[in-house]
Amino acid sequence: MMSYEITPETTQNKQSLLRYFRERGEEKLSELRQDIGSQNYKKLPNGVNKAVGESLDAFKEVIMPKSDEDGWADDARLRSILTSTYCAQVAMLDLRNQVWAYEYMAFSRRIGELWERFVRIPFSYSVTEVSPFVPPLFSDVRASLRQEIGEYIQELPLSDEKKGDLLEYYEKVWVLVDSGEISLQLDLHASISGTKVNIDFKSGFGSNEKGNTNRLLVVATIYKNLEDDY
């Protein structure tokens, strides 16, 4: 196989890239079959995944210096990396399915893993102002809210007894909230042009994880009510 010419056009050509990664993967698959044997087909998928992944990593390692050397625009470099990653993943799925056909749930989980890696790319090779940030601790948020509400209640034109009752009811609500651990840590936290974005990746199709959904709704509500612009 001839070396692949790295230009914005070739690295955004799906047909060309698919052919490249499929041929690379088939070369490795042929070697694996000789080493492992087709009878041990369950050992082949990991080898295929690793081989295509290594080909993609090597490909991206060439794109980066080449794009700097030739003065590619930032968005051209990003599109090239996205398209290359997409085509490598499609080739990997095809080859993996050839040696051991995906079951529904296994395919769903695998797509989730690949989707997460794909979505992270624009944050690593951004064309806008993007920077990661550390999410707040729920304990700090809780302490701040308690202090804020406590100060507000103390300023109300009520008797000390009624203020005490309000604070007691407020603490009862916190008992319910504190019955389950709440973490504001999600899969990705980044500031984009001054707006803080929080992302959580789901790895399955039609997932009916009610507990997980409820947790995300609680976390989203907390972020929405914080002073920062999330």
SS3 of residue 198 by DSSP:
strand
SS3 of residue 199 by DSSP:
strand
DSSP state of 190: E
CA atoms of 68 and 133, how far apart (whole Å)? 27
Please determine, for residue 227, whether its predicted confidence score (pLDDT) is greater than 80: no
Look at residues 26, 30, 5, 29 and name the one whose alpha carbon lies nearest to residue 16.
5
Please determine, for residue 45, whether its predicted confidence score (pLDDT) is greater than 60: yes
Q: Which residue has the higher pLDDT, 1 or 161?
A: 161
Residue 1: per-residue pLDDT? 43
Please determine, for residue 82, whether its predicted confidence score (pLDDT) is greater than 60: yes
Which residue shows structure tokens 């599109």? Answer: 79
CA atoms of 64 and 87, how far apart (whole Å)? 18
Give the list of residues 6+ apart from residue 192 with CB closer than 8 angstroms, or none: 128, 129, 130
Half-sphere exposure of 192 (CA within 13 A, CB side): 14
Residue range 88-109: mean pLDDT, rounded: 86
Query: pLDDT digit string (tens) for 198-219?
Result: 988 865 545 556 667 777 888 8
CA atoms of 131 and 126, how far apart (whole Å)? 9
pTM of structure: 0.75
Half-sphere exposure of 141 (CA within 13 A, CB side): 20
Q: Which of 46-50, 188-192, 213-217 has the highest average model confidence (pLDDT)?
A: 188-192
Q: Where are the domains of the chain?
A: 10-127, 138-177
Q: What's the order of all strands across the beta sheet hosting 130-132? A: 130-132, 188-192, 195-199
Q: One-letter amino acid identity for 142? A: R
Residue range 125-137: mean pLDDT, rounded: 87
Query: pLDDT digit string (tens) for 136-153?
Result: 888 888 888 888 888 998
CA atoms of 82 and 145, how far apart (whole Å)? 42
